[in-house]
Structure 1
Amino acid sequence: MNILIIEDEFRAAKSLQNLIVEIKPEAKIIDVYDSIESSVEALSKGAKPDLIFMDIHLSDGLSFEIFKQVEITCPVVFCTAFDQYMLDAFKSKGVDYILKPFSRGDIAEALSKVDELKNFFQKSEIPGLEALLQKITHPQSAAKSSFLVFKNQKYTTIPTENIAYFFIHNEITHLVTFDKQQFQLNQTLGQIAEQVSQKQFFRINRQYIINFSAIKEMEHYFQRKIYVKLTIETPEKLLINKEKSHQFFSWLEDR
């Protein structure tokens, strides 16, 4: 594996090199660059890394400028002291986001994730013409526009657009509206996930499906999880594990 490091702090760059070689002896550090200008020049002249470890704040600006000037086709692991660029990082081929000061475990986990992705795509088969035609001729059914609920001896329908989130408690599924009304449902969360718009709703864990419109803000949490806050309170903290965070940020971007 040929690895390129883009980092303007000498100690951080040296530490990265030592850890990568220690963890993955077969890896080759092809070069280290400390600026947008030098990185763009090298990549435009034919440098072809299999992986890039990239700082965000470089001596001549933010490293996202590199992506605007040259095409990068390999995965990128971002290493930075700042946590506010996570969404931009995952938009820019980021497969991991490591906060400084990083540890040996952080680098080992990032390298392992890259290997897992590589193995997955090597094993995955390209769908045949028949499968593609099946998707074209049998498109996914339209998302539900409302849910029928029963409460206080009365039936009513709740428009899906009014639902802030679904959650499960004591094996019972509930929906909660933006005006904080709560209703029980007979469906499982898995069934609901198949019925609602996947563009509008996301299942962040086993207990919750949230509406994009209900998201207020996000922040880093312990063990590299993402803490999602909604515009209305939830019975417990909404946490996304690091394995699902990339999928979550891709979903946020796809609108």
Structure 2
Amino acid sequence: MTKIIIIEDEKYACDALVKTLYEAAADIEIKAILTSVEESIRFLSQDAEADLILSDVQLTDGLSFSIFNEVDIDAPIIFITGYDKFMMTAFEYNSIDYLLKPVSKDDLQKALTKYRKLQKHFMSANESLYHFINHFGEKKKTRILVRKGMEHVALQLDDIALFYTENKVVYVFDKCGKKYLADKNLSDLELQLDKDRFFRVNRQYIVNINFIRSFKAFERVKLQVELTLSDWHHHIIVSQETAPLFKKWLADA
């Protein structure tokens, strides 16, 4: 199921777009309809998880480009407008297509086909990169230096259940339920850790395979990971895009 966010301030145009979307594809879900720059920034700052964004360019309170200047968005964008003068600017963002109003079913189907082809290509490329790094990368560490108050501790990586970030602080959670502070961000840690044991399930968590009890379907296309830790109460969610790699990582372990 492709989760779509629509940004459109004209109700008639929005209703027509939704109708055409459902005619063009059966495997879509409208996650949200946003009607202004201000509302979009507020919403996407809290919940930016979408597979695809369809956005008008000219909104009542400004151009939609200002939304994507304020909020870091990974999802590709299809811009929809009544004018072609914004086309070059649109492709400075995550734009994969630029459609002129009124949007036809044929144009929308072509744009969705382009999205799916790009998605398939990058998923394949990410998987190839994962295997290359896994087999040819440098030898990984067995310990990591962490902090507990004023004390620095050399912690065995085998004893670390997961790394996670919260309010821009990176924490280390060990098998005994003790929490430490890390001096590196998750991206730097990801490069140093053994890919056979640790997996970055989303922007917030890197988990150790030895502390994963199970996973189950979440919102049909995502996964929820359950850990063996008795004192761990966070919900760890794997996105639709990452779920196939995560399953393969577990299966190949």
**TM-score where L is the length of structure 1:** 0.49
**TM-score where L is the length of structure 2:** 0.50
Larger Rg: 1
